[in-house]
Amino acid sequence: MSTTERDRLDGRRTLVTGGTRGSGQAVVARLRELGADVWVSARTMPAGYERPDRFVEADTSTPEGTDTLARRIAEGGALDILVHVVGGSTTPPGGFAAATDEQWLTEINLNLLGAVRLDRALLPAMVEAGSGVVLHFGSIQRQMPLHEATLPYAAAKGALRTYSKGLANELAPHGIRVNTISPGGIETEGYEDFLGKLAEASGGTREEAEQGVHAALGGVPLGRFARTEEIADLVGFLVSDRASSIVGAEYVIDGGTVPTV
């Protein structure tokens, strides 16, 4: 597919957090394809990583980690684009009564405060430059919370969305666009592993396991989850000049999983 000038991100100084696997990895590939100068962060640099000169090892769920990352990025001046992809859930199953304070704080640190701290450190330079784009990764769980194991995650993503909207209102007059992308299920390597484990435990096939996952969500009208490349295409659009009047929006990409308006 051909690109035009308005799709291009040539030379734009970019940071993608959580860019080594899943959606983040696809986002990094897409933004580099569009010409951006992309820095990547994760807790661990994969063996043989192709751009070690553009990689920062940092745990963005901790103040020390975001501090390390922000300092390293700030050495080169202001960012043009910040895509905060990191997020996830590690709370064990068992419903509301099983989730401890510690697990709640883990989810809030990972899914909300990482973005808050990184923005606080890096966005003042964007404000000074008078332009920039920020994208936060939410989840459809902010409006369709699942209670068995991911309620703290869902609540943290809900708070992230509210924060993102307020930040957008505050920074738009300074030339900075802040938006949220909220995926439903994504066909990541992690998801394939999960399906494999489900199939093994039940003695069924991968397809049967997948049908069970879709059924637990009330069905996925499209019949499949989003591909990481599709997530990356949406990100590529939202950070480009084509999206220059999109501010404070939430883009849901879920194959129709959320059944309500």
Ligand X SMILES: NC(=O)c1ccc[n+]([C@@H]2O[C@H](COP(=O)([O-])OP(=O)(O)OC[C@H]3O[C@@H](n4cnc5c(N)ncnc54)[C@H](OP(=O)(O)O)[C@@H]3O)[C@@H](O)[C@H]2O)c1
**Minimum CB distance to ligand X, residue 174 (Å):** 25
Nearest to ligand X of 34, 217 (CB atom) = 217
**Binding residues for ligand X, per CB under 6 A?**
18-24, 42-44, 59-61, 85-88, 110, 137, 139, 183, 185-186, 188, 190-191
Q: Is residue 31 classed exposed, middle or buried when 0-12, 13-18 and 19+ CB atoms within 10 A define those classes?
A: buried
Nearest to ligand X of 127, 146 (CB atom) = 146
**Minimum CB distance to ligand X, residue 6 (Å):** 26
Nearest to ligand X of 5, 102 (CB atom) = 102
Give the C-alpha separation, 165 to 34, whole Å. 27
Give the C-alpha separation, 32 to 48, whole Å. 18
**Minimum CB distance to ligand X, residue 214 (Å):** 12
Nearest to ligand X of 8, 21 (CB atom) = 21
Q: DSSP state, 213?
A: H
Nearest to 236 by CA among 22, 38, 21, 95: 38
SS3 15: strand
**Minimum CB distance to ligand X, residue 69 (Å):** 8
**Minimum CB distance to ligand X, residue 130 (Å):** 28
Contact 37, 14 (CB under 8 A): yes
Contact 86, 17 (CB under 8 A): yes
**Minimum CB distance to ligand X, residue 147 (Å):** 16
Nearest to ligand X of 132, 185 (CB atom) = 185
Give the C-alpha separation, 92 to 99, whole Å. 7
Nearest to 198 by CA among 215, 174, 184, 173: 215
Nearest to ligand X of 194, 246 (CB atom) = 194
